[in-house]
Structure 1
Amino acid sequence: MYKNEVYLGIDTSCYTTSVAAIDREGRLVGEARRILQVKQGGRGLQQSEMVFQHTRNLPDLMQELFTKPLKIVGIGVSARPRPLENSYMPAFLVGLGLARSLAAASEIPLHEISHQENHLEAGLWSAQGPDADRFLLLHASGGTTDLLAVEKRADGNYELTQAGGSKDLHAGQFIDRVGVALGLQFPAGPALERLAATADDCIEVPVAVRQGDVSLSGPATAALCKLESGADPAALAAGVQYALAETFVRMIRNVAAQKEIFDVLLVGGVASNSYIRSHLIEKLAKRRIRVWIPESRFSLDNAAGCAAYAFRQGESRYE
């Protein structure tokens, strides 16, 4: 039986188990993902619970992915949160363990990257750019609010350098704290976006930006105080979205001017918010900063970036 040759991607992040397959033409031939379950009213999961759910989810997702005949020729996996020497989180060991086992048993190449690099690779693959030697990457999610300067190395891979970001609360934490207070299920991003879309007004929430550094704990506290004072839930949700969007605009604008880099790629769950995306495109265009946007599902946690990275590494051997 003919089997389509593919590169397998595996990502076991804090709140999503995901696998994906990209063929030797760079096309996605299948993916499967499952969001980890958080009890109603909860604000997160312990690492042990993440490991348990990933361990339970991966066999189901692999069976779902391999309902069609596929032959794995390379594997990419998220092995740690960030591309830093001491970056570590137990949740990623589940995906890494499966990837190492498959690679050893099948005698195929294994390519380890970080979860942040997985987002970068997924964004580049989906948005088809930026095709530049230098650009900015905004990674905004529940566990990260980073603005990174990205530089292409001679080997075709990328060097990521911190250029800005939050000094306290992350963007997703801001959304979740307000969202849970509003009675929304954790993680609250999608529900808060839907609630904001029904608003007739937008309650002002402060923005705190200094060059590339931002603070979100103060704005979050202010938003919660407004809720306690009887603020309209939908209008407050709209205010949170606006505050985050404007925070990102000012941070990117400042760093872009300082470093003379005028392309920015958006990735992460918070960066998948359609209002935030539109706000950034409109405001940054006035500064001639081009915004690159992957398809929303590839901005969220997914394994396509790992598969795309393995594809780039594998197919370079045949050039």
Structure 2
Amino acid sequence: MAVTILAIESSCDDTSAAVIRDQVLLSNVIANQDVHQKYGGVIPELASRAHQQNIIPVVHRALEMANVEVSDIDAIAFTSGPGLLGSLLVGTSFAKGLSISLNVPLVEVNHLQGHILAHFIQKPDQEPVQPQFPFLCLLVSGGHSQIVVVRDHLEMEIIGQTLDDAAGEAFDKCAKVMGLPYPGGPMIDKLAKEGDAKAFKFAKPQIPDLNYSFSGLKTSFLYFLRDAVAQNPNFIEEHKADLCASIQYTIIEVLMDKLVKAAKQTGIRQIAVAGGVSANSGLRDRLVEEGIKRRWSVFIPEFGYTTDNAAMIGITGYFRYLKGERTPLSVAPVTRIKL
């Protein structure tokens, strides 16, 4: 018998709802919050207020697009963390209320697992292309940079992670220093296409094992610009494309060096990428190049599944539901949670 999951994602500044039936995505609706752009970053209080305004119409639209009635829902999957507490509370509270009114179970989902399992979302009348177990996943976002061994849908092990800042944060902070609008990562990606990646050289952090560190790189970039601007006040504007290309190249080099090392150590050739930074065209191109060079099977998510979305929460909730996992109404969201 078919299993229909309504999924809700509200971990940061995007309100999203999706409907999944037996791994097949029927709808995925996302409401973005433009209010944060003028502040140069997400303001938690504004984000939670916007979620309150968006969640009902977003859920209604997701059900409508999927041509699904509320009576067809078997379970409600929702993001329980990690994320902004106020934002998580809106999604969690709504999921609880709907669960009670429909008398259907809740299934909590780890946001990070959702990013990884986005690779298993299927579309109607489309042959699925999915990594085989075990596979390595480079999970890179604004808050996380991890290398994960995925042995099963719900069995994952982190073998490398950032010791401080994440790759996505490094992109955004470097963009902010250059005066680029928020969110800075996509803007760096855009300008990097016009620049020379070898124009400026930035030292790569030497971190043992498979771990990452981006705080030093971020600081060195700041000091480099400070000294350059002291000599030429127009330096950033005159070299913006080259700066973007160079910092992007360095961040990607750091990420890929450890991923290649992890593949060699584990012997795994099934390689996937996930998270917001997986939308970066430079990283996607580099993964394809390394895949050809090293005979990897490379899996890159659709752009729609790279940022926060309920489809990835739905597919994870589906696998948890099949495993018999149910979440009590006493559940509380958490800002930090391990994979």
Task: Tell me the TM-score range normalised by the shorter chain.
Answer: 0.7 to 0.9
Q: C-alpha deviations, 1:98-147, integer Å up to 9, x for none? A: 11221221122321111001112213326732121x22221111111111
Which residue matches 2:191? 195
Secondary structure at the residue paired with 2:74? strand
Change in 2 beyond 3 A, CA 1:184/1:279: same
Q: Displacement, 1:200? A: 4.6
2: distance between equivalents of 1:65 and 1:97? 18
Which residue matches 1:138? 138
2: distance between equivalents of 1:224 and 1:166? 20
CA contact (8 A) 2:76 2:99 kept: yes
Identity score, percent: 27
Secondary structure at the residue paired with 1:91? helix
CA contact (8 A) 1:244 1:276 kept: no
Output aligned runs, 1:60-79, within 5 Å: 60-68=57-65, 69-71=67-69, 72-79=73-80
How many residue pairs are counted as aligned between the two chains?
302
Secondary structure at the residue paired with 1:50? helix
Q: C-alpha deviations, 1:227-273, integer Å up to 9, x for none? A: 33125111111112211211111111112222222222211111111
Output aligned runs, 1:304-319, within 5 Å: 304-313=311-320
Which residue matches 2:20? 22
Unaligned runs of 5+ in 2: 123-127, 229-234, 325-339
Secondary structure at the residue paired with 1:294? coil
Which residue matches 1:184? 180
2: distance between equivalents of 1:212 and 1:201? 25
Q: Displacement, 1:39? A: 4.2
Which residue matches 1:44? 42
Q: Give the TM-score taking structure 2 as reference length.
A: 0.81
Output the amino acid matched with 1:247.
Answer: V
Secondary structure at the residue paired with 1:128? coil
CA contact (8 A) 2:150 2:157 kept: yes
Which residue matches 2:328? none
Q: C-alpha deviations, 1:70-89, integer Å up to 9, x for none? A: 1223221111119xxxxx84
Which residue matches 1:221? 219
Change in 2 beyond 3 A, CA 1:215/1:315: closer
1: distance between equivalents of 2:157 and 2:321? 26
Q: Displacement, 1:19? A: 1.0
2: distance between equivalents of 1:77 and 1:308? 11
CA contact (8 A) 2:25 2:121 kept: no
Secondary structure at the residue paired with 2:294? coil
Q: Give the TM-score taking structure 1 as reference length.
A: 0.85
2: distance between equivalents of 1:278 and 1:39? 28
2: distance between equivalents of 1:180 and 1:267? 24
RMSD between superposed Cα atoms in Å: 2.4
Unaligned runs of 5+ in 1: 83-87
2: distance between equivalents of 1:296 and 1:102? 30
